[in-house]
């Protein structure tokens, strides 16, 4: 059984152990203890009850095995990207050029730099230990964030994005960065991406702000534009089921697709409901799996997977769920179905 909760300062050692198996793709959480310590401190401050509006706060959550206390996953939210330093993307556009004389049509893709100082919210920093990867754990780790956002809507921008991890090889090399960014910065992918943890100013200073014609790049660089890393495909699929879409933005380093939507349209955000606990049963019972979290300003956020029954407008939950979330009869909880309902399709004869 697992719970998801805000990260704590004492989690630093376990988090570093978890990140040691993350490979080269988790660029928002590098294997640098000083940077990770700073991010944990920022997250702790972000959860301050006094925060009333999005101001660039960065929230980190960990997935903890209840009976052992082992950390097996991490995920994050940024309340608003941008701020003092801009946030950069490429806008991918496609145009079909046709010659009637030659009888040829060509699809031409261009990438144009965009930057924002006042951007949307972002869900980010998703990583699950390889030994615990399955559809249930990954979905739970990803979607539990939206219950926190539903509980604290005033803390987040209404538009939300998710920058998907792009295609980087086992040696930490990005074919796209090698073909474009490295030519102007003199840095390889790992070095440049690490530098963004300190400052992104070199992007404006060195990378030309001219459209890039994708078809003029080396073939291996062309092939990764808008593509996700193989390990990220499940995460992308989960978000698409929740209502996220690709609308043309890609990252500037790999460049993976950026999915986006309005927060109010995300299924696990919009469909989540708050209900009071009527009864806690010692025995487990069958039913649809729900993501269940604490609710209310006086409750620290925690989420787990469990079952609940609704009777007379109130919830009946299992004792194991109540124990994991430290809930009692009379408390409120927030819940949402673990998976979207599959709508039956009417067959036409």
* pLDDT in single tens digits along all 349 residues of the chain: 999 999 999 999 999 999 999 876 677 898 899 999 999 999 999 999 999 999 999 999 999 999 999 999 999 999 999 888 888 999 999 999 999 999 999 999 999 999 998 999 999 999 999 999 987 999 999 999 999 999 999 999 999 999 999 988 877 789 999 999 999 999 988 888 888 888 888 888 888 889 999 999 999 999 999 999 888 899 999 999 999 999 999 999 989 999 999 999 999 999 999 999 999 999 989 888 999 999 998 789 999 999 999 999 999 999 999 999 999 999 999 999 998 876 544 433 2
Domain positions in the chain? 2-267, 272-337
> Which residues contact residue 125 at a Cβ distance below 8 angstroms, ignoring those fewer than 6 apart?
26, 28, 29, 60, 74, 75, 76
- What are the Cα distances from residue 223, in Å, to 25, 131, 169, 252? 18, 30, 13, 15
Instruction: Please state the pTM of the whole predicted model.
Output: 0.92
Non-local CB neighbours of 191 within 8 Å, separated by 6+ positions: none
Question: What's the pLDDT score for residue 236?
Answer: 95
**CATH of region 272-337:** 2.40.40.20
Find the catalytic residue in 24, 117, 129, 229: 229
47-to-50, 74, 144 alpha-carbon distances in Å: 8, 16, 16
Q: How far is CA 274 from CA 155, 237, 270, 296, 336, in A?
A: 18, 27, 12, 9, 9
- Residue 348's pLDDT is 38
**Fold classification of 2-267 (topology level):** Aminopeptidase (3.40.630)
Whether 24 is a known active-site residue: answer: no
What is residue 230's three-state secondary structure?
helix
Handedness of CA 114, 119, 122, 125 (dihedral sign): positive
Residue 299: what pLDDT? 85
Q: Is 218 strand, coil or helix?
A: coil
141: helix, coil or strand? helix
Count of Cβ atoms closer than 10 Å to residue 262 Cβ: 14
Bridge-based pairing of strands 314-318 and 308-311 is: antiparallel
pLDDT at 24 (0 to 100): 67
């Amino acid at each position: 059984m697992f719970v998801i909760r805000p990260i704590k300062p004492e989690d630093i050692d376990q988090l570093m152990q978890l990140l040691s198996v993350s490979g080269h793709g988790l660029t928002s959480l590098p294997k640098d203890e000083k940077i990770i310590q700073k991010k944990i401190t920022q997250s702790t401050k972000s959860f301050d009850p006094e925060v009333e509006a999005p101001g660039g706060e960065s929230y980190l959550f960990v997935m903890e095995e209840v009976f052992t206390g082992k950390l097996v996953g991490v995920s994050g939210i940024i309340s608003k990207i941008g701020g003092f330093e801009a946030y950069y993307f490429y806008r991918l556009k496609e145009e079909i050029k046709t010659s009637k004389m030659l009888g040829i049509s060509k699809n031409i893709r261009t990438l144009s730099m965009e930057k924002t100082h006042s951007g949307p919210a972002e869900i980010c920093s998703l990583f699950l230990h390889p030994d615990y990867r399955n559809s249930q754990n990954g979905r739970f780790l990803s979607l539990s964030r939206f219950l926190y956002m539903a509980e604290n809507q005033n803390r987040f921008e209404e538009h939300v994005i998710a920058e998907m991890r792009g295609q980087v090889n086992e040696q930490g090399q990005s074919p796209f960065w090698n073909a474009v960014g490295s030519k102007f910065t003199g840095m390889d992918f790992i070095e440049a991406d690490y530098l963004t943890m300190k400052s992104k100013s070199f992007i404006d200073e060195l990378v030309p702000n001219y459209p890039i014609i994708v078809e003029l790049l080396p073939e291996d660089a062309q092939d990764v534009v808008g593509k996700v890393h193989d390990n990220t495909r499940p995460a992308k699929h989960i978000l698409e089921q929740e209502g996220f879409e690709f609308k043309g933005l890609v990252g500037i380093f790999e460049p993976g697709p950026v999915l986006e939507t309005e927060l109010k349209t995300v299924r696990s955000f919009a469909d989540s409901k708050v209900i009071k606990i009527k009864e806690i049963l010692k025995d487990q019972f069958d039913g649809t799996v729900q993501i269940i979290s604490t609710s209310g300003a006086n409750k620290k956020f925690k989420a787990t997977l469990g079952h609940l029954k609704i009777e007379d407008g109130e919830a009946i939950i299992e004792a194991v769920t109540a124990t994991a979330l430290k809930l009692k009869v009379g408390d409120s909880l927030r819940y949402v179905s673990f998976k979207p309902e599959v709508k039956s399709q009417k067959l036409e004869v």
